[in-house]
Structures are given as structure tokens and as C-alpha cells.
């Protein structure tokens, strides 16, 4: 159990004596992890390049995971975005809270709350270098999917 949960338990023992908060945090992490993997698989299905999954939950309150993918044309960036939306809705019954950049097609952001997918053209990915910006986040290995 994390120190944060322990400190809350000692401050509010009647609220958390059954450990339900720790269980709900664990369930949320499992759900977030499944969402991130689902997004990465959908991106791979559309031949997204250099797929990177970063666990940012320890370094940011924005999300638990960032998924960063390269699309090699505007059409492919949009196709990857569409594939992600369809797969996540079909398998996890979730829709993005917000979608940005679809009209331009050079950098599309799909915000699912606990996971945020960034689908970028090579020039944008190199320029903004999100992996370096979030370099202190844990990089998650994806052995089951092809990350061309």
C-alpha cells in the first residue's frame, strides 16, 4: 500500500479500514493499463510507427498513460485515430472526452481522461519530442504488438 494511502488511513480510519480505497486505485490502474494497451494495439493495426506508451501517473495529474504514435501521412494519422476510437468503444465501451487536431491531421489528440493518445506526423513528432519532455515517465514495453 502506498504511503499516501497509509497517511489517509491514519487520518480517516473509519473511512478506509477495509482497504477499499487501495482496491479502487488498483482497479483504476488496471483499467487505465488496459485502455493504454488497447490504444496501442489499435494504432498497430493501422501500421502506426514507433508506438511508445509512457506511464505518466507518477509525474503528472493529466493522465495515467500517454500513448505516442507516428502516422506517415495525414490520411494515416486520421485512420489511426479512427481505429483507436472504434476499438476502444467496441472493447471497452468508452469514447474520448475530447478530440483535437482531426481537421488538420498532423497531430491528433484523443483524450480518454486516464489515457491520452497522441498521433503525430514525423515532423511534428520530432519537433515536439514528447518522449523527451516526458522522459522521466516510465516507458512501458509492448512485447505483444508490432511497433514498426
pLDDT, position 110: 97
Q: Is the pLDDT higher at 26 or at 117?
A: 117
- Measured between alpha carbons, how far is 48 from 38 in angstroms, rounded to an integer? 13
Q: Which three cell numbers stand for residue 13?
A: 480510519
Q: Is the pLDDT higher at 99 or at 137?
A: 99
Strand partners, 107: 120
- Angle separating helix axes 20-45 and 74-92, nearest 10 degrees: 140
Three-state DSSP state, 68: strand
pLDDT band (50, 70, 90) for residue 38: very high
Domains of the chain plus CATH, in order, are 3-140 (3.30.460.10)
Q: Is the pTM of this model over 0.85?
A: no
Query: Is 89 a residue whose pLDDT tops 50?
Result: yes
Amino acid at each position: 500500500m502506498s504511503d499516501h494511502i497509509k497517511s489517509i488511513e491514519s487520518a480517516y480510519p473509519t473511512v478506509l479500514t477495509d482497504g477499499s480505497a487501495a482496491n479502487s486505485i488498483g482497479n483504476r490502474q488496471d483499467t487505465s493499463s488496459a485502455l493504454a494497451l488497447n490504444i496501442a494495439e489499435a494504432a498497430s493495426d493501422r501500421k502506426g510507427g514507433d508506438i511508445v506508451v509512457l506511464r505518466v501517473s507518477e509525474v503528472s495529474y493529466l493522465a495515467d498513460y500517454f500513448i505516442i504514435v507516428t502516422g506517415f501521412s495525414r490520411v494515416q494519422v486520421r485512420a489511426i485515430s479512427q481505429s483507436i476510437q472504434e476499438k476502444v468503444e467496441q472493447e471497452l465501451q468508452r469514447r474520448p472526452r475530447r478530440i483535437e487536431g482531426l481537421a488538420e491531421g498532423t497531430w491528433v489528440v484523443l483524450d480518454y481522461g486516464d489515457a491520452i493518445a497522441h498521433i503525430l506526423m514525423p515532423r511534428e513528432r520530432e519537433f515536439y519530442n514528447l518522449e523527451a519532455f516526458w522522459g522521466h515517465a516510465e516507458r512501458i514495453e509492448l512485447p505483444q504488438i508490432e511497433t514498426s
